[in-house]
Amino acid sequence: MREGLIPAILGTAVTAAGTAMRVRDMRKHGMTKRDTRVAIGAGLIGLGLAHIALGSIDLLQNGRS
């Protein structure tokens, strides 16, 4: 298995979960910054995107070697 593939897949799953939390919350309550679910959803999206970026970097670096 190529190195970096697992972080990229994990990041995709975490980003999807965070996005699902945000969409559901926006539909029910609107966007309130005091709601902890909004903050958790934003954090999950950020962590997921970081995993995708780091996994992609690993895939690109190992693919050129």
Torsion of CA 5, 8, 12, 14, to 10 degrees: 110
pLDDT of res. 21: 73
Domain that holds residue 56: 5-64
CA dist 8 to 4, 32, 39, 51, Å?
6, 30, 23, 6
* CB environment 1-36: b (16+ within 10 A), e (fewer): eeebeebbeebeebbebbeebbeebeeeeeeeeeee
What's the number of domains the chain is made of?
A: 1
Q: What is the pLDDT of residues 23-45, one digit of tens each?
A: 766 666 665 556 677 777 778 88
- What percentage of the chain carries pLDDT values higher than 90? 0
